[in-house]
Structure 1
């Protein structure tokens, strides 16, 4: 039996830098899960607004996706069609569940809070990356496979989900830049045994959500 709980049960435990994994039902999500042989097809990073100088206390999610699904991006104050966005985590989960885009979720906690320097680096990176576009399906798989197998970087003006998470950890000095960010998949942040971590830092299992 898989024991799953609701988002409201863990909402208060989330901190900036934690991750959320998504199990998708869309054809592209299923293809990602087949390619990486994993249950998870999407990943985003939790951001607490006040940690990066924004108002509000409701957890946000920093993600790169093909559609914002009408959810307001807190930087633009309007929905984005796709690409890198910073949106309400609760709204993302509710929209995904109601439309059956994603049906199961998993929390991954980082083992410590980010320090003041790391939060400043994070804020700068978010604003720097915010205009990056999401590749089409063909480009996504091309860039991922080239990064995974040949360590070849993708264009700087594009981002996809696990690539954005990896690049964010690199910007914080937590993940080595020896391996390109587009060579990471969502499951790398679920089973993090081989992540090239630079500092005392690791990712812990949290609850499965539905």
Structure 2
């Protein structure tokens, strides 16, 4: 009898493993299908659930505390995220070190890690429509080299820079907060006019504004596309 019970227990364990693996594979497949639609310039928004993010969302009256930009680069078979953050959890794919401030990370890993570590709980995309100029990659790489070693400002300095931006005063480029980096990238690529300084822009503005001064032929989608629970990637062992 003990042998029968042992066999039944092993079968249950095996079935649980198979079901869990099948669910994980289904989640990864859903994310892969979603990721294939993303192109350089698409914006990614994060709803944070830790204290610093919640403070930013309350102050800005926004659903979003963080924004980054999707990047497709030669040599990488998955979408990357160009962002500026204080989160020291992922290695920069070009500098091969963990850092704060402007960095390039794998988008799947950023979302999966933030979800697992309970930094964020909601994600959405605002896709950029229109043809990207042929020199986009060269301009982007030049800008990355210029600012890659910059840092993320303190909360006090970020507030000061946002205030300066509201008066159309450009902040220095020794530090970048997240939406400032995205806006400056758009400007350096020639995708957005410098009607306001890059430190004028917030995640809320980049997510909601329908009159951003984009270059002719480029349009940001009017509606955000939210990731469904089944599409959120998981941390891979």
- TM-score normalised by the chain length of structure 1: 0.89
CA distance in 2, matches of 1:206, 1:89: 17
- TM-score normalised by the chain length of structure 2: 0.79
Question: Contact 1:63/1:84 (CA < 8 Å) preserved in 2?
Answer: yes
Could you tell me which residue of structure 1 aligns to residue 121 of structure 2? 103
CA distance in 2, matches of 1:103, 1:9: 20
Aligned Cα RMSD in Å?
1.5
Question: Structure 1 residue 28 and structure 2 residue 28: aligned?
Answer: no
Number of positions where the alignment pairs a residue of Structure 1 with one of Structure 2: 198
Q: In proportion to residue count, which structure has more strand?
A: 1
**5+ residue gaps, structure 2:** 1-29, 230-237
Could you tell me which residue of structure 2 aligns to residue 3 of structure 1? none
Deviations 1:77-133 (A, max 9, x none): 1222x1100011111001100111111000111002422112221121122121111
**5+ residue gaps, structure 1:** 1-5
Could you tell me which residue of structure 2 aligns to residue 77 of structure 1? 96
Which structure has the greater CA radius of gyration?
2
Aligned mate of 2:34, from 3, 10, 22: 10
Deviations 1:15-55 (A, max 9, x none): 111110000012221122122211011100001121xxxx1
Question: Structure 1 residue 161 and structure 2 residue 185: aligned?
Answer: no
Question: Structure 1 residue 93 and structure 2 residue 111: aligned?
Answer: yes
Q: In proportion to residue count, which structure has more helix?
A: 2
Segments ≥4 residues shifted beyond 3 Å = 6-9
CA distance in 2, matches of 1:206, 1:123: 27
CA distance in 2, matches of 1:8, 1:24: 23
1:206, distance to aligned residue in structure 2 (A): 4.5
Could you tell me which residue of structure 1 aligns to residue 195 of structure 2? 178
Question: Contact 1:189/1:203 (CA < 8 Å) preserved in 2?
Answer: no
